[in-house]
Structure 1
Amino acid sequence: MNRLASTFVAASLALLASAVIAYEILLTRMFSFLLQYHYSFLVVSGAIFSLGLGALAVSRFRPSDAHRWLTVLALATSLCICLAGVFILRQPRAGVTFLVIAAGLPILTAGAYLAMLFRTWGHDSQRLYFWDLSGAALGTAWIVPAMDLGPGAVGACAAVAAAAGALTAMRTSPRHWGLLSSGGCLAVAITVGVFLDVDLDELAGAADKPMFRGLSASQNPGRIVETSWSAYARTDLVDRTGDTGLNMYLDGAAGSYLFRFGGDLRRLFFLRTEAPCFPYFFGRRDHALVIGPGGGADILFGLLTGWRQITGVEVNADAVRMVRSRNQYSGGLYDLANVDLHVGDGRSYLERSDELYDLIALPLVYAEAADLVGYQLAENYLFTREAYAAYFEHLTPRGRLSLVLHDHPLMVRAVATLDDLWRQHRAESGAILDHLVIIDGTRGGSEKTGRVHRPVLMVQRTPFEAGTLDTVMATAEELGLHVFFAPGIREPEPLASLRSGRLLAPGIDVAPVTDDRPYFYDVTPGADAKLVTALLVAAGLTLVLLLSGLRDCRVVDARPGAQRFVALSGALGAGYMLVEVFLLQRLTLILGHPVLALVVTLFGLLTATGLGSVLGQRLPLLASRGLAAALLACGLGSATLPLAPGLLEWCQGWSMMGRIAASLLVVVPTGMLLGLPFPAALASAKVSREDAIPWMWAVNGAAGVLGSLAAVVCAMAIGSTWIPVAGGLCYLLASLGLARGPAGPSTATLTTGSRSALVVVALVFIGWLAVLYFTDSRYVSPPNSGIRQVPPAVPDAVWPRSIAAPSATVTF
């Protein structure tokens, strides 16, 4: 057989890689809705582990017609994607084990495809690896608009895999059976894409998320009014009351409320007694910023209390669209003359703004989410020490920060982080307490339990004065609210312990939340037990695969050993994934939207890795010392990545295209370096002992999952700064092992496909630009209605007796 794979085979590889990575991203999106976010991450990680098992399954299989079997495996991947999608969406509570098995089947067949292809054309590994990564990069792009189809995107992934089978079928003889089979798989994919949907009845019966409980409630069961899928989340509007308003859910969990509002604030007079409305009564009511308004409740709080200007920043574009599409129902809330709404990440917007605000409000922003590619578990950056510093920098001298949190442990953790921020500015420990008032959201429940639920934190830039505190206490009493904490008046434990220099809160992680460790919702001290268990299981399985591969590839009789290639593959899999997770996590803050992190960071990294592979053909990488030098460069480059976020902070105020360009300046050189070693090692293994290639794919895939889990545990335990350092260490250890090993084969690398590589890169780049334009219009800057309505008049009766009503009405 020709040492060079045909263009049909290379293009088939690109399509299959595109389908598989798109399927992995889609899995994360579906599981984020179906499961709790920890389980979503674990299930997807377990499924990806199947890639290595698939490679191992064909290690002893030597077909006489590789094209025919590649066609079979590609079409099997297509059918398995359909079967997995049907099982997952129709049996979402089948159990984690069954979900992992179902989700992993397409990845297992894809792993077998990769191992067979690279073993057959191992001499051409560097060129093929370029096609592999280019296809994967394109998959990260096209799946973003495809996820608007919701479950229909399953059919899109299966259709692309079927097309991969059709391309390899073109090289079989006779080819008609392969083309007919590909057509049949395509028909199945289209059918699944059109008719597949989620079994909401089973989810409602499980009742393990707020939306699912609402759908199955015995009183006022919910009815879904509208559903919208996107690359960011699934957003649902659910009608439970029929009159007061609609519940809005994000991935079935993060709830907000869209009130029925016809323009008369007297209809919503009851909102004045809600705890989240309390901060809007106090101080100068000039300009308020609401981060995460959702259905618009906090916008109504600002209107009800007469704020002159209200700016909202909502990361979920579908939430904004749903409110605006119901202007008659919502009273045109987001299109009033004194309401200015933006779509994007609230902190990113704030750090690019020069405005000062009298109030910055974060109303129950629910930040838990499984990452889009399933390789990391990250929250957003709204509750870190650096975020709080940005909020206070954008407050007027007597401005206030309002935080609405879920429960008592999160309140304690927020106060601990705020105290750390104050101490960084040379304040005494506990000085934050003089700036803090906490309102219990359960109307006095904390008096009995000593714990708050849905607490509202008011943090003033200057210490609260005695007169202001008297007004706060009187207003709370009149509105039927309970003040849990007020400096010098009511200081319960554990917050009072801060006065003595240390916050004593057993069972709660009181370490400050930082951009380096942004896991605000993980309140239990130490790493999450489920993640540690998954890490140990992944480590054990990877070790078993590694030892088995080393044993199988040892020197036997006259056959040379290839153990170093198997060990090298493990180091490369873990190291690459550690670097990838770090870049995805930290560049999300710079880019300003999680979908942009997918479209820019992951796309850029995969494309650059593919370019590094094809450029490596011109370097002496097949010799051990040449490969060791490349690994050394990868290690040193990875170890310097912790400097990147600090340098990119200078770009925070730039336009979106400027921030994208700055991010790519970090991602592209890194990816090109990391693209050198693995394909060169595959080509070397083909020369030395091709039996090692399936083992290399198996160990590399397993180590990649191990690396992603290790990255999350590392970030939670000691901070994400150390993730690329650990990745660099993997590369450096591999370099040391190769440098001390035998010289290796001296066969020259095949330098082919440079012209076709340029064409592929050009096509992929054009596709990326189209998706980038879609992402900007869909997620970052959706158009407003263009209608600006006069804000409603504020009724005098809204004001508590302890607060004087405004003397004049502001005109617009």
Structure 2
Amino acid sequence: QDLPIFLRENPGSHIVETKWNSFSRIDVVEGITGDCTPGSKDPVFNQPQCADEGLIAKIFIDGGAGTNVISWDGSLNSRQGLTSWIQYIPFTLEQDPKVLIIGSGGGRDVVAALVSGSRDVTSVEINPIIFETVQSYGKKAGNVYSHQYVDANVDEGRSFVSKSDEKYDIIYIPFVDTWASVSSGGLGVSENFLYTVEAFQEYYDHLSENGKIVSVRWLIDAPRFVSTYAELLERNGVSQSRLSEHLVVVSSESVTKDPSVTMVVFSKTPFAQSEINYFHESFSSNGYKPIVIPDRVALEPYKSFLNGEISQEEFHNKFSQKAHPVTDDSPFFLSFEKPIPKILEVLFYISIAIAAGFLVGPYLFIRRTQSVQLNRGLVCLYFAALGIGFILVELSLLQKLILLLGNPTMTFAILLFTILISSGIGSLVSSKIVSKNTKNLSLMIGCIIAIGALYIVVVPSIVYSVISEEFVTKTIISVGLLFPIGFAMGMPLPTIMRFLKSYEPGLVPWMWAVNGAFSVLGAILSVVIGILFGASYAMALGLGVYSVAMAVSLAWKKKPIEVLASR
């Protein structure tokens, strides 16, 4: 966690306020003295970070990533030192650019855009308590979000862009991380829909004729951005071989290792010679390390890729970390380990071992009843299939709907509630629908498969068509999508539980354990499949597993589900 390290390294700093909401916890730190000696650097942004440089507060999000609130008098002639920072050089490319900043945080990026010459800055910050905290500093921070040249918005970035009709000269995306606990919890993996190919297509469509997309992250992210822009150009009818004309990549400290702030600038049209010269001179005078500048610099393996000497796949293989672009179906931009994060791999193997233990272990100790001889293998297979299938379908749908609702915490709260309620109602009425034999049960599982297959096709289109609607509208649509399949998925489990309770009650606790263990396995499997292939594949696998359960139910078609109470 960055917060305790920062407090330890800045003895005068202290937390003045802590706030919570559904997005995150934030801690506001003041009293930052830092090291103001010449040559000292912010360990994160490699820029001076101390009171003398006007840092009045730092807002830490969930004890990790921080965003700075800087002192500013509101004058467009002050804070000119910002214009030479690596991430702000694009603001000075032209006079009075129209700027959109996604993830404006503490407002420093907004100040930089203003003092660099922009008189039309639109800021978007998803977290209202960060926005309110910056506002609370008032004149100390130059009333940055109330400035006459600033249109400040509290909204999710993709949603804001999708409903905007504006065209921007610069769309600026600094370190923006929408951290979300993934399905199996604490795996160090997060979805981020701001960095997918589909997201960059949205940004591309909202650029002016000579507009630029500016992304600021770490050196490790640069290959993935380059791959994303190659894919973006292909989708817009421009050959990959032309990418070098549209791309500038520069690092603050190093071209080989992190931490080094890295800026990737993509131009909708090929960079003009004057822009190329300006970048080259600015980087040279400030000691920044260019990686790609059209007609000037192209380090390997970028050079070979941009020249078309190697394919995109070969380019990816040149790096120890993942370098392929991510999509809305698999938005794990921050997952760099090949093929999956080690912690996820370990948890996957552990969950397999636990599930196998619950599946096989009790088999040796549970005695059969004398009245009925059930095929325990089929019973175990059925409950294991329900456990994996349910969770794969559920979590795949939730991932797709996070993009629609924007707030991961609210998404899980609302949609998990919907799944639980709808499946609970399905369980309640299952005894009425599936009452005499398993024919109706097989039909119900078939309905789950049919609805799920339909959702794989139509849900993405629905999400893109309504993403710009109000949150309440999107919530109603999401609930409407989840309720039918949740209702259907609530029926198969209690139906066969009643069957077991009547025929062989000793199996009931065991089957609960099998179902639960395979649900845990399925939760981790959904993340693995999501990272490697995508949520649609995870859902398709879940439907395939439901097909196994349906096959088992068909094998029981001559068995009565309910027996006489006197038996």
- TM-score (norm: length of structure 1): 0.63
Is residue 495–residue 561 contact of structure 2 (8 Å, CA) maintained in 1? no
Paired residue secondary structure (2:298): coil
What is the RMSD computed on CA atoms of the aligned residues? 2.4
Paired residue secondary structure (1:420): helix
Cα gap change, 1:345 to 1:622, in 2 (>3 Å): farther
Cα gap change, 1:284 to 1:697, in 2 (>3 Å): farther
1:405-416 matches, cutoff 5 A? 405-406=217-218, 408-416=219-227
1:382-401 matches, cutoff 5 A? 382-401=194-213
CA distance in 2: counterparts of 1:229 and 1:512, whole angstroms = 33
In structure 1, the residue matched to 2:48 is none
Is residue 517–residue 718 contact of structure 1 (8 Å, CA) maintained in 2? yes
**Offset of residue 703 of structure 1:** 1.0
In structure 2, the residue matched to 1:587 is 401
Is residue 572–residue 678 contact of structure 1 (8 Å, CA) maintained in 2? yes
In structure 2, the residue matched to 1:641 is 455
In structure 2, the residue matched to 1:676 is 491
Question: Mean Cα displacement is larger for which, 374-383 or 272-281?
Answer: 374-383
1:643-792 matches, cutoff 5 A? 643=457, 644-741=459-556, 743-747=558-562
Q: Per-residue CA shift, 1:723-742, capped at 9, x if unaligned?
A: 11111112110110121136
Is residue 578–residue 727 contact of structure 1 (8 Å, CA) maintained in 2? yes
**Offset of residue 451 of structure 1:** 7.6
Q: Which amino acid is the alignment partner of residue 502 of structure 1?
A: S
**Offset of residue 566 of structure 1:** 3.9
Cα gap change, 1:733 to 1:254, in 2 (>3 Å): same
**Offset of residue 589 of structure 1:** 0.9
Paired residue secondary structure (2:535): coil
Q: Per-residue CA shift, 1:381-419, capped at 9, x if unaligned?
A: 11111111110100000111010012x221111111111
Is residue 256–residue 295 contact of structure 1 (8 Å, CA) maintained in 2? yes
CA distance in 2: counterparts of 1:438 and 1:308, whole angstroms = 26
**Offset of residue 715 of structure 1:** 0.9
In structure 1, the residue matched to 2:425 is 611
In structure 2, the residue matched to 1:239 is 30
In structure 2, the residue matched to 1:319 is 130
**Offset of residue 696 of structure 1:** 2.1
Paired residue secondary structure (1:235): strand
CA distance in 2: counterparts of 1:507 and 1:480, whole angstroms = 27
**Offset of residue 749 of structure 1:** 11
Cα gap change, 1:532 to 1:255, in 2 (>3 Å): same
In structure 2, the residue matched to 1:216 is 8
Q: Which amino acid is the alignment partner of residue 370 of structure 2?
A: D
Paired residue secondary structure (1:520): coil
Q: Per-residue CA shift, 1:14-43, capped at 9, x if unaligned?
A: xxxxxxxxxxxxxxxxxxxxxxxxxxxxxx
Cα gap change, 1:549 to 1:730, in 2 (>3 Å): farther
CA distance in 1: counterparts of 2:169 and 2:372, whole angstroms = 76
**Offset of residue 426 of structure 1:** 3.4
Q: Per-residue CA shift, 1:249-299, capped at 9, x if unaligned?
A: 111221211112233455523222211111111135242111101111111
Paired residue secondary structure (1:642): helix
1:5-44 matches, cutoff 5 A? none
Is residue 292–residue 363 contact of structure 1 (8 Å, CA) maintained in 2? yes
Within the candidate set 298, 311, 317, 1:491 is matched to: 298
Cα gap change, 1:363 to 1:506, in 2 (>3 Å): closer
In structure 2, the residue matched to 1:469 is 276
Structure with the larger helix share: 1
Within the candidate set 246, 255, 270, 2:66 is matched to: 255
Cα gap change, 1:369 to 1:650, in 2 (>3 Å): closer
CA distance in 2: counterparts of 1:708 and 1:372, whole angstroms = 6
CA distance in 2: counterparts of 1:430 and 1:240, whole angstroms = 51
Within the candidate set 123, 135, 140, 1:329 is matched to: 140
Is residue 240–residue 247 contact of structure 1 (8 Å, CA) maintained in 2? no
Within the candidate set 89, 105, 122, 1:278 is matched to: 89
Is residue 609–residue 675 contact of structure 1 (8 Å, CA) maintained in 2? yes
CA distance in 2: counterparts of 1:214 and 1:621, whole angstroms = 63
**Offset of residue 432 of structure 1:** 1.8
Structure with the larger strand share: 2
State whether structure 2 residue 336 is matched by structure 1 residue 523. yes
Identity %: 26
CA distance in 2: counterparts of 1:621 and 1:278, whole angstroms = 71
CA distance in 2: counterparts of 1:439 and 1:318, whole angstroms = 33
Is residue 413–residue 508 contact of structure 1 (8 Å, CA) maintained in 2? no
CA distance in 2: counterparts of 1:238 and 1:457, whole angstroms = 30
Is residue 554–residue 562 contact of structure 1 (8 Å, CA) maintained in 2? no
Paired residue secondary structure (1:580): helix
CA distance in 1: counterparts of 2:300 and 2:461, whole angstroms = 37
In structure 2, the residue matched to 1:547 is 360
Is residue 388–residue 521 contact of structure 2 (8 Å, CA) maintained in 1? yes
- Structure 1: gaps of 5 or more residues: 1-208, 751-812
**Offset of residue 431 of structure 1:** 1.9
**Offset of residue 690 of structure 1:** 2.0
**Offset of residue 495 of structure 1:** 1.0
CA distance in 2: counterparts of 1:298 and 1:534, whole angstroms = 40
CA distance in 2: counterparts of 1:312 and 1:506, whole angstroms = 34
State whether structure 2 residue 311 is matched by structure 1 residue 502. yes
Q: Which amino acid is the alignment partner of residue 561 of structure 1?
A: L
**Offset of residue 524 of structure 1:** 2.7
Q: Which amino acid is the alignment partner of residue 311 of structure 2?
A: R
Structure with the greater relative contact order (CA < 8 A, sep ≥ 6): 1 or 2? 1
Q: Per-residue CA shift, 1:319-371, capped at 9, x if unaligned?
A: 11111122133121111122122222201211121111111101111344423
Is residue 562–residue 692 contact of structure 1 (8 Å, CA) maintained in 2? no
**Offset of residue 709 of structure 1:** 0.4
**Offset of residue 553 of structure 1:** 5.1
CA distance in 2: counterparts of 1:287 and 1:267, whole angstroms = 20
Cα gap change, 1:642 to 1:552, in 2 (>3 Å): farther
State whether structure 2 residue 511 is matched by structure 1 residue 511. no
**Offset of residue 601 of structure 1:** 2.0
Cα gap change, 1:658 to 1:343, in 2 (>3 Å): same
CA distance in 2: counterparts of 1:256 and 1:358, whole angstroms = 24
- TM-score (norm: length of structure 2): 0.89
In structure 1, the residue matched to 2:384 is 570
1:80-119 matches, cutoff 5 A? none
- Structure 2: gaps of 5 or more residues: 34-50
**Offset of residue 745 of structure 1:** 3.4
1:415-426 matches, cutoff 5 A? 415-426=226-237
Is residue 438–residue 455 contact of structure 1 (8 Å, CA) maintained in 2? yes
In structure 2, the residue matched to 1:104 is none
Is residue 400–residue 459 contact of structure 1 (8 Å, CA) maintained in 2? yes
Cα gap change, 1:621 to 1:394, in 2 (>3 Å): farther
Is residue 257–residue 295 contact of structure 1 (8 Å, CA) maintained in 2? yes
Paired residue secondary structure (1:313): strand
**Offset of residue 452 of structure 1:** 8.1
